[in-house]
Amino acid sequence: MSDQQNPPEKFYASVQVRLPKAAGAVARKSLGIFERQIRSRCGAKVGAGESPAAGGLLITLDLDPTLGAEGFRIEGSGAALRVSGECERALIYGLGKLLRSSRFSPEGFAPGPWRGASVPQKPVRGIYFASHFHNFYQEAPLPEVFAYIEDLALWGTNNVAVWFDMHEFKSVEDPKAANMIARLKAILKAAKETGLDTTLLCLANESWADSPVELRADWTGGHDGYTRELQGHYHVELCPSKPGALAKILEWRQQVFKALASAPMDFMCIWPYDQGGCTCAQCKPWGANGLMHIAQPMAEMFRKSNPTGKVIFSTWYFDDFTTGEWDGLKKLFLKKPDWADYLMVGDYFGVEKMRGGVPGALPTLSFPEISMWGVGGWGPWGGFGASPYPGLLEERWHSKGALLVGGFPYSEGIFEDMNKAVYSQFYWQADRKAEDTLREYVAFEFSPEVADGVTKAALLMEKTLTRKKEVKDGQTHFILENPQGVDEIKALMEAAHQRLSPAVQKSWRWRILYLRAIIDHELAHHDSALTDRAEEALQEITKLYHAQNAAFPVAPPTREAIKANRQL
Ligand SMILES: [Zn+2]
């Protein structure tokens, strides 16, 4: 990469974009994404064409297969720029980079000064949308979710994962199941139209809500090497060691594949625990025994309908409830199994174990936590607005990033948008500083003029995030563990607010960051109680998240949400 400062910027009222010869759907999509970004930020007109109106800017999009995989290049000066991509989706990444250093004003669009070529270091740069608990991914109008996928693509994200949670439904015929299938299909299709890959997470021994009781799995601990009960187990999953259960598991999996058949599916991920698993004597240890009865046939079933599809074998929570799973898998995968393409490890999985050799020497992905830190297991995650924690993410990434080929951060909503940007850039350039990404985010989403102050505020927000809930005299309090900093954060955010355009002041990214500063300030100065001003802010955030029906762990804690206390 290289940064060159060009002489004084010029604002253009009109921008023509010349598409590559024989442009495919994704190249055309990149123009649509670029146009939407410009339209939402300034008055410049953007259109497809060969030559600009007098005084306009021309951006030529080009495909250059000599660039590294998914790389892009930005070159040119003055009124003629060229953005090249190794493939069509790389054009979106290149336009993202161009946009993020650009300026927007009532006079129009001033293209950013960044020039050079850039190629991502990690091939799998995913995101997992947890579409449940009536969170944003489950409730937001689909066009908002589609626009969000495009926004993530601008940062270099190349894979969107979803999970169809069978236990919420009685069967594939359940009308509610059909609604969820339709929504997931729409999300996967939108990802594909944006040029991204798609992934379906599948819990290995997953079951419908009214699965046969006699075939169900054991989740209890204290026997057969299990030191504690399985976390998150739904208690409807089946035990594949019981006669007839494996056939049922595969039959139901086939039903789900069939229901999703018209959705594009590039990857399938087989999940062991949380939820799922079985602690019985025949399945122990699950990760290197019971799970294996399901994994291979499930992978083969997926490959049958998706011959070029990739299979990810997840080791999430391996060696957490019991022992011998990682080492057992190493023995089973002495060489790479022909039915698996990637291994996935948990965010906290031991680096030493990975350094000692990965089962089957499979390229390894991780499943980073970007949503839930700081507010305890009960949430509400993101309930107080934006929750950036770049420092923690950087620390975790640096501990094992070199051993990974990418991953899928776990997302509960839009409140950790800054954390997603930080991860997208770790995947792009492994040694990129989180603070550097945050500054680029702030300059692009808000304004370069407020980059210093708002970046500082966002970094301080990591320190003030940790809090605990306490009910005193019938009132719910949220006690900040480290309230020092809330005054400075509020002052920085208020000062920045005055300098922003009305459009940015109203944008959801600004609102959730700004309101976080307001709410925390209220809490710190009012005995940790939620004041009327805090309530007003929480109600606004609820609307932005579409969290009116959300379960408490993903709901801003308005008076109504606290009273309803909707459980998972
Ligand atoms: Zn079992």
What is the secondary structure of 77-106 as a DSSP string?
Answer: ETTEEEEEESSHHHHHHHHHHHHHT-EEET
CA of 568 to the centre of ligand 1 (A): 26
CA of 238 to the centre of ligand 1 (A): 8
Q: Which amino acid belongs to residue 57?
A: L
Walking along the chain (568 residues) 10 residues at a time, the average pLDDT comes out as 57 97 96 97 93 91 98 96 98 98 94 97 98 96 98 98 97 95 98 98 97 98 98 97 98 97 95 97 98 98 96 97 98 97 93 95 97 88 98 96 97 98 98 98 97 98 97 93 98 98 96 98 97 98 98 96 91
Strand 124-129 and strand 159-163: the pairing is parallel
CA of 279 to the centre of ligand 1 (A): 6
The pLDDT, as a whole number, for residue 1 is: 45
- H-run or E-run covering 127: strand 124-129
3-class DSSP assignment, residue 61: strand
CA of 363 to the centre of ligand 1 (A): 29
Assigned token pair, 561: 């949400």
End-to-end CA distance of the chain: 45
CA of 297 to the centre of ligand 1 (A): 17
Distance CA 214, CA 255 (A): 21
CA of 530 to the centre of ligand 1 (A): 47
- H-run or E-run covering 117: strand 116-118
Q: To the nearest 10°, the Cα dihedral for 335, 338, 339, 343?
A: 40
The pLDDT, as a whole number, for residue 422 is: 98
The pLDDT, as a whole number, for residue 395 is: 96
Return residue ranges of the chain for CATH 3.30.379.10.
14-118
Distance CA 469, CA 379 (A): 9
Distance CA 517, CA 393 (A): 21
Assigned token pair, 4: 């060159």
Length of the chain: 568
CA of 203 to the centre of ligand 1 (A): 15
CA of 168 to the centre of ligand 1 (A): 22
CA of 225 to the centre of ligand 1 (A): 13
CA of 464 to the centre of ligand 1 (A): 44
| Backbone dihedral angles phi then psi of residue 200, each to the nearest 5 degrees | -110, 120
CA of 260 to the centre of ligand 1 (A): 28
The pLDDT, as a whole number, for residue 568 is: 77
3-class DSSP assignment, residue 487: helix
CA of 210 to the centre of ligand 1 (A): 18
Q: Is 561 exposed, middle or buried (0-12, 13-18, 19+ CB in 10 A)?
A: buried
CA distances from 510 to 50, 250, 336, 463 (A): 36, 46, 47, 19
CA of 291 to the centre of ligand 1 (A): 9
The pLDDT, as a whole number, for residue 8 is: 59
Distance CA 434, CA 393 (A): 8
CA of 325 to the centre of ligand 1 (A): 15
For residues 567 and 551, the answer to whether their CB atoms sit within 8 Å is: yes
The pLDDT, as a whole number, for residue 243 is: 98
CA of 289 to the centre of ligand 1 (A): 9
Site of tokens 């909707």: 566
| Domain 14-118 CATH class label | alpha beta
CA of 475 to the centre of ligand 1 (A): 45
122 Cβ partners below 8 Å, 6+ apart?
Answer: 404, 405, 406, 407, 426, 427, 428, 430
3-class DSSP assignment, residue 510: helix
CA of 282 to the centre of ligand 1 (A): 6
CA of 284 to the centre of ligand 1 (A): 7
CA distances from 425 to 154, 349, 406, 487, 516 (A): 11, 22, 11, 30, 24
CA of 235 to the centre of ligand 1 (A): 12
For residues 511 and 493, the answer to whether their CB atoms sit within 8 Å is: no
The pLDDT, as a whole number, for residue 2 is: 46
For residues 5 and 63, the answer to whether their CB atoms sit within 8 Å is: no
The pLDDT, as a whole number, for residue 7 is: 53
CA of 327 to the centre of ligand 1 (A): 20
CA of 261 to the centre of ligand 1 (A): 30
CA of 523 to the centre of ligand 1 (A): 48
CA of 339 to the centre of ligand 1 (A): 23
CA of 271 to the centre of ligand 1 (A): 16
Distance CA 467, CA 452 (A): 26
pTM above 0.95, yes or no: yes
Where are the alpha helices (H) located in 333-468, listed in sequence order? 351-355, 390-400, 417-428, 434-445, 451-464
CA of 290 to the centre of ligand 1 (A): 6
b/e map of 528-554 (b: 16 or more CB within 10 Å)? bebbeebbebbebbbebbbbeebbbbb
